[in-house]
Chain A
Amino acid sequence: MQTEKFQYDNRIVRNFAIATMVFGIVGMLVGLLIAIQLYEPAANLGNQYTSFGRIRPLHTNAIIFAFVGNAVFMGVYYSLQRLCKARMFSDLLSNIHFWGWQLIIVAAAVSLPLGLTTSKEYAELEWPIDIAITVIWVVFGWNMFGTILKRRERHMYVAIWFYIATFVTVAVLHLVNSFELPVSMFKSYSWYAGVQDALVQWWYGHNAVAFFLTTPFLGMMYYYLPKAVDRPVYSYKLSILHFWTLIFLYIWAGPHHLLYSSLPDWAQSLGVAFSIMLIAPSWGGMINGLLTLRGAWDKVRDEPVLKFFAVGVTAYGMSTFEGPMLSLKNVNAIAHFTDWIVAHVHVGALGWNGFMTFGILYWLIPRIYNTKLHSKKMANFHFWIGTLGILFYTVPMYWSGFTQGLMWKEFTEAGQLKYEFLDTTKQVLSLHVLRSFGGTLFLTGTIVMVYNITKTMLAGKLIANENAEAPALEKNYTPTGHASYWHKALERKPMTFMVLSIVVILIGGAVEMLPTFLIKTNIPTITSVKPYTPLELQGRDLYIREGCVGCHSQMIRPFRSETERYGEYSKAGEYVYDHPFLWGSKRTGPDLMREGGKYPNSWHYNHMIDPRSMSPGSIMPAYQWLADQTLTISTTKAKINAMRTLGVPYEKGYEEKAEEDLKTQAKSISDNLAIEKIKLDSDKELIAIIAYLQRLGTDIKLNKPSTN
């Protein structure tokens, strides 16, 4: 058979590697800054653009999409070419993919601090950027499938299946969750409301973890781990089982993020059942990875790359065991809304994504630069300081999570809540200090790595185009003997394979979501629940802009400890006009579901200007700019129209009256403040926020909560 000569594109791999390192440092630095803000509010720098609510999504987006995203592309572009024995389909597409992705990251880094956000976790970017993401993702898929189609290797190795599943599922998730109605160039409303929005969001959120942070890394594990240890994967059969069961099960588990919420019970139970089943494929994968190292543990002792892989895969095993445990309702009752979840995700992010990425960088860079790693010693130092960093990060966060969960639920013998919310905040402060120390250690390790890798790059020379040769594939291939089994046939047909992957993930998605969409017509309407007034709607958008949802939930679960503290538990029918939903996932501050009417307007004014004057010991940042900035009311008409399009029953023609109503309501709040000798003009943003906060949960208010 004729041998063909061709070249692998290493330049694109190098570019993604540099982007991975740069954005890794940036993302971790922002993470450290917000970690410090949680015990030292002054670290907000007194500036709205660096305030916690706005830059917390900057941290998560930078780590997920910039650091991990670039690492995935680096890993895929290197391994895919080798596994297909072909150069990437098109250099032009590779470059559009690279630069397009970096532009999206820059757009995110600019827009999030400006407060341009949809508020949906890990999908905060506004609609123009959503469209750009779609385009670039298609470019990536096109380039990947082009490469697979022109491959010189008959069968697709398991790593490629994981890459294909990643591509198709992320595409589906992004499209469905980003369904939104633009109001202006940088503002949109989610198409879904309340319970449905929550379900779609956490179907997305959970599977973004699954298909952006997990499946591409599993694919890379199946390629780079055997490479680094120079022996094949422990069990290829197990990897097939791992792949199909994992992608099948993952998609169902989203509702475990919404236990005890207003989501229907059956959907919650479904989420729990599938989460528990997920342990099987996840651990199958972990065991497969670790057993690949069997008989080679002596190599692990001297090779930093393998150390990173060993700890990375172990962290994968730990967090995929912990995840299902957290989805048990009794565990979730304590863990949800606490720092426990923060610890859980960081075992995954620092241990699994971080360490796998570091291992791959240490393995790959010397190879494409045709040299040796600058310093093995430094890499070993990175490994140890990184591991210590993970421990110092997660142990205090677990401790803090248990403390919060238990203190929130504790009653005195007389049957009253034992602690105020602020007591728990103060109780865990020192643990937060320790956590930021852990983060500093991890970041230090990363900086050492960047130095080490840069030195390596400078010492070698990039083999931009690496020569390779392989026989061309026979055009008219007829499978014989063992090759005729249909899975093997499937592996020869990437397009059929892709379609089958989509079918597999859609089964779970459809069964999970369809009934909840039927609810739209079946939802028990609560007649007292009315649409927001124009001023409240504007206030709600400011609440979204400032990222209040990052620390405050609006979801009172049906526990006595919550109804005593916050008031009547939340009903599905209360959220029918909430585009987007604002349930939140973390209680750094108290729940605000029934905040309305709890305090006078003057309390809110003082609390926003200086939180500690009203709540001594509070770690909430001050929002003095809200009192200085004038509310933009020119958008009111467009917002009312958009909401009506989405099904909110504003009367016909109300958009013309809305601005007038807004001004009247604003003036009444301003006048009310004046009685308490507070001078605040009625056109300020703070007035709108107060209007919104005072409205919260007042549509139905049965129990009067005792305290915050």
Chain B
Amino acid sequence: MFRNLLHEITGIGIYQMFSLVVFSGFFVIVAIWLFKTKKEYIDEMKNKPLE
């Protein structure tokens, strides 16, 4: 029954793929920033609560 229901929504199959791609893309972007972030900045931020 649900399969029929789904078929009635056009292009539903794309949703699962879309969500995975969006997340992977998002993850890669965040990872790239982190990779490029300088250590002195990280150290500065890290110590904020202890100031």
Residues of A at the B interface (CB closer than 8 Å) are 79, 82-83, 153, 155, 157-159, 222-223, 226-227, 230-233, 236-237, 240-241, 244-245, 248-249, 252, 264-266, 269-270, 273-274, 277, 482-483, 485-488, 504, 507-508, 511, 515, 518-519, 522-524, 571-572
Q: Is the CB of A277 within 8 A of B23?
A: yes
Q: A265-B2, A507-B22 are known contacts; what are 6 more A-B pairs with Cβ within 8 Å?
A: A233-B46, A241-B31, A245-B27, A266-B12, A273-B19, A485-B36
> B6–A241 contact, CB under 8 A?
no
Within 8 A of A (CB), among B1-41: 1-6, 8-9, 12, 15-16, 18-20, 22-23, 26-27, 30-31, 33-34, 36-38, 40-41
Task: Return chain A residues, CB-CB under 8 Å to B26.
Answer: 244-245, 248, 504
A528 to B1: give the CA distance in the assembly, Å.
Answer: 17
* Complex: A489 Cα to B33 Cα, angstroms: 12
Q: How many residues of B contact A (CB 8 A)?
A: 36
Q: Given A240-B34, A511-B19, are A265 and B46 also a contact pair (CB < 8 Å)?
A: no
Q: How far is B49's CA from A241's CA once the two chains are assembled, in angstroms?
A: 19
- Least distance between B18 CB and chain A CB atoms (Å): 7
Choose from A153, A482, A522 the contact partner of B8 (Cβ within 8 Å).
A522
Report yes or no: B15 in contact with A511, Cβ–Cβ below 8 A: yes
| List of A residues within 8 angstroms of B46 by Cβ | 232-233, 236
Chain A residues, Cβ within 8 Å of B20: 273
A245 with B40, Cβ < 8 A, contacts A515-B15, A519-B9 known: no
Contact across chains for B33 and A226 when beta carbons are under 8 A apart? no
Known: A482-B38, A487-B33, A571-B1. A83 touches B15 (CB 8 A): no
Closest residue of A by beta carbon distance from B34: A237
B33 to chain A, nearest CB (A): 5
Kindly report which residue of chain B lies nearest to residue A249, judged by CB atoms: B23
| Closest Cβ neighbor of A486 among chain B residues | B33
CA distance A138 to B9 in the complex (A): 37
Task: Please state if B9 and A159 are interface contacts (CB–CB under 8 Å).
Answer: no
- Give CA–CA (A244, B31) in the complex, Å: 10
Contacts of B31 in A (CB 8 A): 241
Q: Chain B contacts of A518 at CB under 8 A?
A: 9
Which of B9, B36, B38 has its CB near the most chain A CB atoms (within 10 A)? B9
**In the bound complex, CA of A232 to CA of B51 (Å):** 10
Measured CB to CB, the nearest residue on chain A to B19 is: A511
CB neighbours of B15 from chain A (8 A) = 266, 270, 511, 515
Interface of A is mostly: helix
Q: Which 7 A-B residue pairs are closest in the complex by CB-CB distance? A: A482-B38, A232-B46, A157-B48, A236-B46, A522-B8, A244-B30, A237-B34
A–B pairs, 7, beta carbons within 8 Å? A83-B48, A155-B48, A232-B49, A241-B30, A265-B3, A274-B23, A485-B38
Q: How far is the CA of A155 from the CA of B2 in the complex (A)?
A: 49
Residues of A within 8 A of B50 (CB): 226-227, 230-232
Docked-complex contact A270 and B5, CB < 8 angstroms? no
Give the docked Cα–Cα distance between A240 and B15 (Å).
Answer: 27
CA distance A188 to B5 in the complex (A): 30
Given the complex of chains A and B, what is the CA–CA distance between A266 and B5 in angstroms? 11
- A83-B48, A507-B22 in contact; A236/B2 too (CB < 8 A)? no
Q: Which residues of B contact A265 (CB under 8 A)?
A: 2-3, 6
B49 partner, pick from A227, A511, A515, A519, beta carbons under 8 A: A227
For B22, what are the chain A residues with a Cβ–Cβ distance below 8 Å? 507, 511
List of B residues within 8 angstroms of A82 by Cβ = 49
**Most A CB within 10 A of own CB, among B34, B38, B42, B45:** B45
Residue of chain A at shortest CB distance from B22? A507
A482 pairs with B40, CB closer than 8 A:
yes
CB-based contact A488/B48 at 8 Å = no
Contact: B19 with A270, CB < 8 Å?
A: yes
Q: In the assembled complex, how far is the CB of residue A568 from the closest CB belonging to chain B, in whole angstroms?
A: 12
Query: Considering the chains assembled together, what is the distance between the CA atoms of A288 and B37 in angstroms?
Result: 18
Using CB atoms, name the residue of chain B closest to A507: B22
CB distance from A252 to the nearest CB of B (A): 7
Contact B45 A158 (CB under 8 A): yes
Residues of A within 8 A of B16 (CB): 266, 269-270, 273
B30 and A524 contacting across the interface, CB-CB below 8 Å: no
Most chain A Cβ neighbours within 10 Å, of B36, B37, B46:
B46
**CB of A172 to closest CB in B, whole Å:** 18
In the bound complex, residues from chain B placing their C-beta under 8 Å from that of A486 are: 33
- Complex Cα spacing A485 to B39, Å: 13
Question: Which residues from A are CB-within-8-Å of B23?
Answer: 248-249, 274, 277
Chain B residue nearest to A232 in the complex (CB)? B46
Which residues from B are CB-within-8-Å of A572?
A: 1-2, 5
**Contact A157–B34 (Cβ < 8 Å):** no
Q: In the complex, A508→B15 CA distance in Å?
A: 11
Distance from A453 Cβ to chain B, minimum over Cβ atoms (Å): 23
Closest Cβ of chain A: how far from B11's Cβ, in Å?
10
For the complex formed, measure the closest distance between the CB of A223 and the CB atoms of chain B, giving whole angstroms.
5
User: How far is it, in angstroms, between the C-alpha of A383 and the C-alpha of B12 when the chains are bound?
Assistant: 51
Give chain A nearest CB distance to B10 CB in angstroms: 9
Which of B5, B41, B48, B49 touches A522 (beta carbons < 8 Å)? B5
Residue of A nearest to B27 (CB): A245
Among A222, A230, A483, contact of B41 (Cβ-Cβ < 8 Å): A483
Contacts of A508 in B (CB 8 A): 19
Complex alpha-carbon distance, A157 and B15, angstroms: 35
Interface contact A264-B49, CB-CB below 8 Å: no
Least Cβ–Cβ distance between A501 and chain B, in angstroms: 13
Inter-subunit contact A252/B19 (CB<8 Å): yes
Contacts of B30 in A (CB 8 A): 240-241, 244-245
Distance in Å from the Cβ of A516 to the closest Cβ of chain B?
9
Instruction: Tell me the minimal C-beta distance from B9 to chain A in angstroms.
Output: 5
- Structural contact, A159 and B41, CB atoms closer than 8 A: no
Q: A266-B15, A487-B37 are in contact. Are A157 and B45 (CB under 8 A)?
A: yes
Q: Is the CB of B8 within 8 A of A157?
A: no
Minimum distance in angstroms from B36 CB to a CB of chain A: 6
A266→B42 contact, CB < 8 A: no
In the complex, what distance in Å separates the CA atom of A223 from the CA atom of B47?
A: 10
Query: Contact: B45 with A236, CB < 8 Å?
Result: yes
Contacts of A485 in B (CB 8 A): 33, 36-38, 41
In this complex, the member of A266, A488, A515, A524 whose beta carbon has the largest number of chain B beta carbons within 10 angstroms is A266
